[in-house]
Structure 1
Amino acid sequence: MAELATSIRRNAIGLGLFAIITGGTIAITQVMTAERIQEQAARAEAQALFEIIPENRHDNHLLTDTVQLPADNGINANDPVTAWVARRNGRPTGLIMPVVAPDGYSGNIHLLVGLNMRGTVLGVRVTSHRETPGLGDRIETKKSDWIHSFTGRSLGDPAPERWAVRKNGGAFDQFTGATITPKAVVNAVQKTLIYFREHRSDIRDILNEPASPRSTPLTPEEIAGQTPEREHS
């Protein structure tokens, strides 16, 4: 009996040590993995920012020039919107806003939407999603050029009723076998444009942008930075 009790204690101690070591290893792995994921996400986000507004179209430090815009349930739940600001000679020339499309096929689709100060889309990029590989993932630039179809668009181009996929009478292509994903992105971009229109006065005040038109004409470089050529869908 004594030997059996001793054996049980040894087994219990061994199992306990194994559980402690295993738990510690898992915890360390999770921390290290989380850090790597955050770093990769930050790099992807930075790359997307400069794809939307290239460095030759602004002279400020885009990654650190951020502002807090009013919260709006339409684009980012009820949290304030942290937007990146592009400036040239001190004047704001564009904004890039993080936007969530909540109605993707497999959940939230996270986007960056860039607008110039006239409310025209400079570019859109997807930063994270869980859409179906081979179908919904065509919203990524490495899978197709579909996301570029928003460049140069505005609330009036196309008309409001045409902000939809072609299957529903809209101006934007859907994917073969996947309509929900592109529809979610189209809706999110349109809501971003509506947000910009509705909060235009607040945004102008936050950016200290003059309300009246400037007295001198824009340079060709500034025009190129603010009015992108639209890529038709």
Structure 2
Amino acid sequence: MSLRLGNLGRGALTLAVVGALGLGGLLAMRALTAERIAEQQRASTLRALAVLLPKEYDNDPQTDRIEVVAPAWLGSEDALTVRRARNDGRVVALLLEAVAPDGYNGDIRLLVGVDAQGRVIGVRVVEHRETPGLGDPIEIARGPWITGFDGRSLRDPAADAWRVRRDGGAFDQLAGATITPRAVVGAVRRALQFVESHGEALAMAPVGETLAFRDLPPQEGPTQ
């Protein structure tokens, strides 16, 4: 009996060790995967910054940055980064991280560049999980759709035209996909509204400051 119990005990111990090793390996793999995803997102953000910066600036927008919590405007309860480009001390562009939370397959993370006149310098998708072949043409590498925001403002087109064409707006939808471009158009519009409403606070905040905005963007009419 004691020998059998001893064998059972050793078996249980072996299973426990194997289980612990397996769990440790799984956790290590998850940590490595998360680190790789974060690194890919950082690299994507750096590539986008290189394109969206204004033509003339004399500071380092990577260090001249603040954090902003503005869920109704920027689409996330998390703090998102706003970088400032300056020329001779004057802010000439804001580069905002923004999230379209209503993508077809979840969050679409964006970088939106806005100049001092409230015009879009450009928009780039940093991360998304949209359906390949349908929603992924929002990526610049897969098509020019995202460049349709270049030079736009809240007055070009008019406020009620900041929609996809299917909803009576000025922006093209993608072939076979409306939800994805609708989400991106909405996120860019709210980013522009945020700059129009709070741009001075974003420009004046000390480097490293975290600002919180709990107010709401202007009401949007219903989509069709």
Q: TM-score range by the shorter chain?
A: 0.7 to 0.9
Q: Indicate if the aligned counterparts of 1:87 and 1:94 stay in contact, CA closer than 8 A.
A: yes
Taking CA–CA contacts closer than 8 Å with sequence separation of 6 or more, which of the two structures ends up with the larger relative contact order?
2
Give CA-to-partner distance per residue, 1:71-104, whole Å, 9 cap, x none: 3622244566531111122221101011111111
Structure 2 spans left out of the alignment, 5+ residues: 207-224
Give the whole-Å Cα distance in 1 for the aligned partners of 2:16 and 2:79. 47
Q: Indicate if the aligned counterparts of 2:69 and 2:76 stay in contact, CA closer than 8 A.
A: no
Q: Indicate if the aligned counterparts of 2:61 and 2:84 stay in contact, CA closer than 8 A.
A: yes
Aligned to 1:215: none
Give the whole-Å Cα distance in 1 for the aligned partners of 2:42 and 2:132. 23
Shift of 1:35: 2.1
Aligned to 2:159: 160
TM-score computed with the length of structure 2 as normaliser: 0.83
Give the whole-Å Cα distance in 2 for the aligned partners of 1:149 and 1:63. 26
Give the whole-Å Cα distance in 2 for the aligned partners of 1:49 and 1:3. 69
Give the 5 Å matches for 1:210-221.
Answer: none
Aligned to 2:190: 191
Give the whole-Å Cα distance in 1 for the aligned partners of 2:107 and 2:68. 21
How many residues align structurally? 206
Aligned in 2, Cα 1:68/1:11: closer, same or farther, shift over 3 Å?
closer
1:40 aligns with 2:40: yes
Give the whole-Å Cα distance in 2 for the aligned partners of 1:72 and 1:116. 22
Aligned to 1:223: none
Aligned to 2:105: 106
Shift of 1:153: 0.1
Q: Indicate if the aligned counterparts of 2:75 and 2:101 stay in contact, CA closer than 8 A.
A: no
Aligned to 2:56: 57
Shift of 1:157: 0.5
Structure 1 spans left out of the alignment, 5+ residues: 208-233
Give the whole-Å Cα distance in 2 for the aligned partners of 1:201 and 1:70. 16
Give the whole-Å Cα distance in 2 for the aligned partners of 1:131 and 1:107. 8
Percent identity between the aligned chains?
Answer: 43
Aligned in 2, Cα 1:38/1:66: closer, same or farther, shift over 3 Å?
same
Give the whole-Å Cα distance in 2 for the aligned partners of 1:8 and 1:135. 56
Give CA-to-partner distance per residue, 1:60-79, whole Å, 9 cap, x none: 11211103457362224456
Report the RMSD for the aligned CA atoms in angstroms: 2.1
Shift of 1:50: 1.2
Q: Indicate if the aligned counterparts of 1:46 and 1:63 stay in contact, CA closer than 8 A.
A: no
Aligned to 2:125: 126
Q: Indicate if the aligned counterparts of 1:53 and 1:114 stay in contact, CA closer than 8 A.
A: yes
Pick which of 17-26 and 93-102 moved more: 17-26
Pick which of 2-11 and 13-22 moved more: 2-11
Give the whole-Å Cα distance in 2 for the aligned partners of 1:80 and 1:23. 32
Structure number with greater Rg is: 1
Q: Indicate if the aligned counterparts of 2:124 and 2:139 stay in contact, CA closer than 8 A.
A: yes
Shift of 1:128: 1.1
Give the whole-Å Cα distance in 2 for the aligned partners of 1:18 and 1:205. 56
Aligned in 2, Cα 1:77/1:26: closer, same or farther, shift over 3 Å?
closer
Give the whole-Å Cα distance in 2 for the aligned partners of 1:32 and 1:77. 25
SS of 1:156's partner is coil
Give the 5 Å matches for 1:1-233.
Answer: 1-53=1-53, 57-68=56-67, 71=70, 73-77=72-76, 81-206=80-205
Q: Indicate if the aligned counterparts of 1:72 and 1:195 stay in contact, CA closer than 8 A.
A: no
TM-score computed with the length of structure 1 as normaliser: 0.80
